[in-house]
Structure 1
Amino acid sequence: MTMMKAAVVSAPGGPDVLKLEHRPLPVPEKGWVRIAVKAFGINRSEMFTRQGHSPSVTFPRILGIEAVGVIDEAPGGEFQRGEIVATVMGGMGRQYDGGYAEYTRVPARQVRRVETKLPWSTLGALPEMLQTAWGVLFSGLRLQKTDRLLIRGGTTSVGMAAISIAKAWGAHVSATTRRKERAPALWECGSDRVIVDDGKISAGAYRFDKVLELVGTTALEDSLLCADRGGLVCMSGMVGNKWAIDHFAPMDSIPNRVSLTTYSGEPTDFLEMPFQELVDDVAAGRLTIRVGRVFQFDQIVEAHQCMEDNAAEGKIVVVI
């Protein structure tokens, strides 16, 4: 039996519950493909699953909601062996084993070909990050070229990608950081204004047409107050590590004629977004993305600890 190396979580806990084990090579049936994984990004949803906060996930489980690599087998003929591909979501790492492995088996319908000479360490940062940034801007927020946009949590990987995409689109972009020494990274991504977040930025004079909330529930009520009348706030992140708002009263917390929505993305969003064009923009330097830390596969525990410590200052990538 052919074996592969995989990072397996057998019970919820801290980063050290991720154990490298040898597992049988997954066998794809028709309609599925096997990808030889070359790199994958680390996502906060995987951290929450690892900690035991995803009730629908059973252990043991190979985590990982995204991966890039090359097609190893496609019994349905949807792809050719050796094609470079990317895949995200659709139950990866939750309903079935995901990308934290040398090989992963996923439905062909959630896989995209990509032509690029980007290094795996860069390409591995892109699928989920770009899908979320693009989706929340143009689906969740319905961004217009004349919008005044606030990105709350600008130094997150999605936040920095969203800054660059929104600025290229023509919006006026403001972004927040809790640490003023991180402001240069936001300028580099294209932000027109950087706001040092003290938790009460609504007390300032600025108001916005659209607000992208990436900090989460700990900042949401204040972000709602930052929206102008007729404005739209979309929550798509939770770096504040809190799921719910205590004693939430919608009529008090949501300002008159301000709309609140959420965005989490689905495989169809990934298939419909201009992923190849965005990859080309990254390669040409037209789109600034920030890879924070790159780890080897045997450093998966350190990679998760880096995420828990909020120490990456960009997307965390693991290469195989």
Structure 2
Amino acid sequence: MRAAVCVRAGGPEVLEIRELPVPAVRAGWSLVRVTGAGLNRSELRTRQGHSPGVRFPRVLGIECVGVVAASTDPRLPEGATVAAVMGEMGREFDGGYAEYALLPNALLMPVTSTLSPETLAALPETYLTAQGAFDTLGIRPGERLLIRGGTSSVGMAAASIAHGHGVETAATTRRPGKADALLAAGVDHVLRDDGGPLRTPWPDGPDHVLDLVGAATAVDSLRLVRRGGTVCVAGSLSGWLIRDFEPIAMVPSGTRLTAFHSRDAQGGAAVLQRVVDNVEAGVYRPNVDRIFALADIAAAHRYMEDDRATGKVVMLP
């Protein structure tokens, strides 16, 4: 089989297309023929050497969709369509940048779908994170949502979910040229984030803030949300740590600060099926920015690293 192997930490050039043996099935694991894989910025960090404990060479890829080729689990018959997310894919063991992936049965989520491979591949990590954050916030139709980091793949997914549920949405971007993509995703108000004070279209603030920028903006998001509203941090585009964080001084009385981590989406077959059903019904409108072939994985990483994507980048083997 062909696979994109990260041979060492470094730039995109360290991703090499190699011929590898198809993995042998073992107890507790099943073989998946990969039909598509969404690409993620966490894979950039792993490739750059910023994921402690990852040993090279390694086939990267923290998610994939595909068809069961050989199974050790009765609930995963051969020919079943499945998705897999996280669980140390592409870190502790080889991930989705390949024609086949040997994956733990516990990670595999059966799904019924009529979607194209590229559309289905764009959903698992991105939409499970966005849907999980949306559910964590407890957003209801008619409420107001601010998405910080709106042109990230999760931001675009969150905008699609919000639009599908009748939520008035504002989203931030640092690049004015990406405004049209946000509007097409269902955003009502596009806000330019130029590093200065951010103003929302609502005098008393949004009911909820989904903060995908993370550490650099979380405290400001607490300032922006209406008193008694909720801020959910579900991204780390600006890093992991909020330095000199003083909860009593920085969290307004009655305002809630929570988080959602994509690892909580592992095994979320029912949630993923709900997402797929909503996409098939036209309620959610997934944004596939660009599709790359496996052979072009280094170019795909350059594309992501240059922050050129608006939405999801997908690899088809």
Both structures adopt the same fold (TM-score exceeding 0.5): yes
Aligned to 1:229, the other structure's residue is in SS state coil
Partner Cα separation in structure 2 for residue 275 and residue 129 of structure 1: 10
User: Residue in 2 aligned with 1:176?
Assistant: 172
Partner Cα separation in structure 2 for residue 203 and residue 314 of structure 1: 24
Partner Cα separation in structure 2 for residue 200 and residue 212 of structure 1: 19
Distance 1:146 1:117, change over 3 A: closer
Distance 1:234 1:14, change over 3 A: same
User: Residue in 2 aligned with 1:74?
Assistant: 71
User: Residue in 1 aligned with 2:160?
Assistant: 164
CA shift at 1:39, angstroms?
0.9
In the TM superposition, what are the counterparts of 1:257-296 in structure 2 within 5 Å? 257-266=254-263, 269-271=266-268, 273-296=270-293
More moved, 40-49 vs 184-193: 184-193
Letter in 2 for 1:173: T
Distance 1:288 1:169, change over 3 A: same
Q: Is residue 216 of structure 2 the alignment partner of residue 194 of structure 1? A: no
CA shift at 1:60, angstroms?
2.1
User: Residue in 2 aligned with 1:312?
Assistant: 309
User: Residue in 1 aligned with 2:208?
Assistant: 210
- Paired residues, number: 315
What does the per-residue CA deviation read over 1:201-223, in whole Å, with 9 as the maximum and x for residues that have no partner? 44554512211011222322222
CA shift at 1:54, angstroms?
1.3
Letter in 2 for 1:25: V
TM-score by length of 2: 0.92
Letter in 1 for 2:47: R
Aligned to 2:262, the other structure's residue is in SS state coil
CA shift at 1:75, angstroms?
2.4
User: Residue in 1 aligned with 2:230?
Assistant: 232
Q: Is residue 114 of structure 2 the alignment partner of residue 114 of structure 1? A: no
Partner Cα separation in structure 2 for residue 76 and residue 279 of structure 1: 23
TM-score by length of 1: 0.91
Letter in 2 for 1:60: P
CA shift at 1:300, angstroms?
0.5
Letter in 1 for 2:78: R
User: Residue in 1 aligned with 2:144?
Assistant: 148
Partner Cα separation in structure 2 for residue 317 and residue 268 of structure 1: 19
Partner Cα separation in structure 1 for residue 247 and residue 48 of structure 2: 30
Partner Cα separation in structure 2 for residue 123 and residue 145 of structure 1: 26
User: 8 Å contact 1:160–1:186 — kept in the other structure?
Assistant: yes
More moved, 196-205 vs 106-115: 196-205
Distance 1:269 1:10, change over 3 A: closer
Distance 1:13 1:294, change over 3 A: same
Partner Cα separation in structure 1 for residue 204 and residue 13 of structure 2: 44
User: 8 Å contact 1:213–1:233 — kept in the other structure?
Assistant: yes
Letter in 2 for 1:152: R
CA shift at 1:287, angstroms?
1.2
CA shift at 1:267, angstroms?
5.9
Partner Cα separation in structure 2 for residue 209 and residue 56 of structure 1: 40
Among 16, 24, 27, the residue aligned to 2:21: 24
Identity of aligned residues (%): 44
Partner Cα separation in structure 2 for residue 274 and residue 314 of structure 1: 20
User: 8 Å contact 2:87–2:266 — kept in the other structure?
Assistant: no
Partner Cα separation in structure 2 for residue 138 and residue 190 of structure 1: 18
Letter in 1 for 2:208: K
User: Residue in 2 aligned with 1:219?
Assistant: 217
User: 8 Å contact 1:199–1:219 — kept in the other structure?
Assistant: no
Letter in 1 for 2:225: A
CA shift at 1:245, angstroms?
3.6
What does the per-residue CA deviation read over 1:260-305, in whole Å, with 9 as the maximum and x for residues that have no partner? 2221123655425432232233234321111011100010001111
Letter in 2 for 1:217: A
Partner Cα separation in structure 2 for residue 255 and residue 272 of structure 1: 36
Distance 1:147 1:272, change over 3 A: farther
What does the per-residue CA deviation read over 1:212-267, in whole Å, with 9 as the maximum and x for residues that have no partner? 01122232222221112122211112233x33344444444433433222211236
Q: Is residue 134 of structure 2 the alignment partner of residue 137 of structure 1? A: yes
Letter in 2 for 1:83: A
Partner Cα separation in structure 1 for residue 128 and residue 178 of structure 2: 24
Partner Cα separation in structure 2 for residue 285 and residue 145 of structure 1: 17
Among 59, 62, 65, the residue aligned to 1:62: 59
Partner Cα separation in structure 1 for residue 221 and residue 264 of structure 2: 28
Among 84, 89, 94, the residue aligned to 2:91: 94
